[in-house]
Amino acid sequence: MSKLGRVGTVKLMLDHRFNPPNTDTGKHFDAGADMVTAVTESELVTIGRNNRLETALESLADAGMDFAIVEGGRDSALAKIILGEMDDPEDISNIVRQLPPRSDWDMDEIVSIVNEQTDHITLSLLVNQVKANPDLKKVGGIGTFTGIVREQTTEIRTSRLEFETYEQVARDRIEQIRTDMMQREGIIDVRIHHKIGKIGPGEDIVYIVVAAAHRTELFQALSDTLERVKTEVPIWKKEITIDGDFWVHDHA
């Protein structure tokens, strides 16, 4: 995979402490630090209190990794490739391939499976992609919009939102909106991502990033892109509240 892009890995070590109490980083952590970063001659190691797998994947995406390999995580929704025999594979969800141990694996097949998986997108990743644009020299500003799940609306309290879509149709429509917006005068790059599935209060729903030569062009394009995503992309929103569930016509 490293020949195709940057690779980050996650190892789930839930029965192990990476920074034991007798180390300096452990002492800093136990003293109350929310995050400890150790710098050695060849390494940079950061230890934080948020030990969710989702947080680990977000940090890899933010760092510009093209691929993530997770060791463990049998209970996660991630696609699983099993190496060798397991006693209870029926307890593992979403197995996409089982390979014999220490064999001549078909790496082209494995790469194909990996490339079929859903990308893990963060706002920082999209901003970094825009900054990697060769035309960045023409950019005078980068604007972003992040839509999140609003928990309280008048008397209604939302427990979560659930988004459904026809994936290929939605992707094609988003790409068309992006292409159209980039035809505008002064717009250098546009990135759009809308999450699908269950999303809780305060969590991110949609990201829009616009790079433009001037701020007036930027803000107008950012607003117009959001409105087009809301009205043109076939995404359906179900709102789960303490008083009941209902479908919402406002897509985003």
Last residue of a domain, one of 83, 115, 147: 115
CATH number (domain holding residue 47): 3.40.50.300
CB hemisphere CA count around 116 (13 angstroms): 10
Nearest alpha-carbon partner for 204 in 143, 250, 163: 163
Single pTM value for the model = 0.79
Strand partners, 238: 162, 247
Residues 169-218: tens digit of each pLDDT: 999 999 999 999 999 999 999 999 999 999 999 999 999 999 999 999 99
Domain ranges, residue 153: 123-248
Last residue of a domain, one of 75, 92, 115: 115
Last residue of a domain, one of 92, 115, 138: 115
Cα dist from 37 to 12, 34, 46, 60, 185, whole Å: 19, 10, 4, 16, 44
- Residue 204 · residue 195 · CB < 8 Å: yes
- Residue 80 · residue 95 · CB < 8 Å: yes
| pLDDT less than 70: residues of the chain | 244, 246-252
pLDDT at 246: 66
Q: Are residues 136 and 219 in the same domain?
A: yes
User: Alpha-carbon dihedral of residues 20, 23, 25, 31, nearest 10 degrees?
Assistant: 80
pLDDT at 252: 43
DSSP state of 59: H
pLDDT at 250: 52
Q: Are residues 58 and 137 in the same domain?
A: no
Measured distance CA(57)–CA(69) in Å, rounded: 9
pLDDT at 237: 87
Nearest alpha-carbon partner for 64 in 143, 138, 120: 120
Strand partners, 144: 209
pLDDT at 249: 58
Q: Are residues 71 and 104 in the same domain?
A: yes
Within 8 A by CB and 6+ apart from 5, the residues are 65, 66, 67
Average pLDDT taken over every residue of the chain: 89
